Amino acid sequence: MTEDVLISTDGRVGRISLNRPKAIHALNLGMCEAMIAALVTWRDDDAVEAVIIDHSEGRGFCAGGDIRMLAESGAKDGVEARAFFHTEYRLNHLLFTYAKPVVAFMDGITMGGGVGISQPAKYRVATEHTRFAMPETGIGLFPDVGGGWYLPRLEGRVGVFLALTGARLDGAECLALGLATHYLPSEKLAEAKERIAAHPDRIGGILGELSVTAPPAAITQHLDKINRLFASDTYEDILAALEADGGEWAAKELAALHSKSPQTCKVALRQLKEGGAMHDFAAQMTQEYAIGARVVQMHDFIEGVRALIIDKDNSPKWDPPTPEAVTDDWIDAIFAPLPENEKWAPLS
């Protein structure tokens, strides 16, 4: 058992508390395995009526996955990275299909892998501390853990905007967009958890009673621009639309996109387009695993991690260097299904 996640039962609920505060609770393989084991055990345990996922301490719920390990593995044979993705995506799928209600407390930083374990939950609680993002395009990865399912199902083109720019949302914005179901002040979380443990049959009512009116959601004033300027599924069209707009907001978002991996941005656009049309979450995870198995060994991911996380010079040299240089054939190869014996599959 790993100490990086605390597993317990409290009253009539199972408790999963992420416990890697120095890494803002970023997920590693052992954490994913421990969470799966607990969820599978509780699935058939009548004494456990609901599940709470939160974090033990510190400023974030979950900052993502173990990016350094992924990059180090990708630079070698990629075996460890693929094993992590395979298990993490099984956890994401298990949560998505879980029969008992799950409550995720997205208090603080909720990014990447943290999105993957909170979005499948029936109840998703945001607070004044919530900072939600899928920032993968900045390191040459892609919005995985089900991002291809959740993002295209948001209002208009918001999902595409979030996937490409890695924009950060606060708790009020998460509530407004449906990424959160409730908005609670952080000082009410302990009471919420205590009451849910005692009355797991009343989760919705308890969260409703403790909810407060969220501040205005800043992103809503930009929705018309997002829907207009991010309307295309072709990356070059989006860049051209932002450039032609000439406004301050468009210029800021264009500058953000110019710092991202062109390969990843094209991957994300196709991922969201195809994911939005999928009817089965397992099919989405199968595709994301095929993408991840390849991307983790490609230049842009290893270079992105070097530039933003290891050397921190923030000047990655992307290759292919421009959107035009990332051909359809290049993207097709990333999306090609894996051989049968290498494909991802959900837990039986």
Name the residues annotated as catalytic: 65, 113, 136, 144
Distance (Å, whole) CA 116 – CA 56? 18
Note if the bond before 320 is cis, omega within 30 degrees: yes
Residues facing residue 14 across a β-bridge: 9, 51
Cα dihedral sign for 293, 297, 298, 304? positive
As given in the structure block, the two tokens for residue 234 are 């072709």
- H/E element holding 182? strand 182-183
What tokens does 110 get? 């909720």
How far is the C-alpha of 89 from the C-alpha of 73, rounded, in Å? 18
**Residues 174, 161, 301, 273: what is their CA dihedral angle, to the nearest 10 degrees?**
100
Tokens of 161: 């905007």
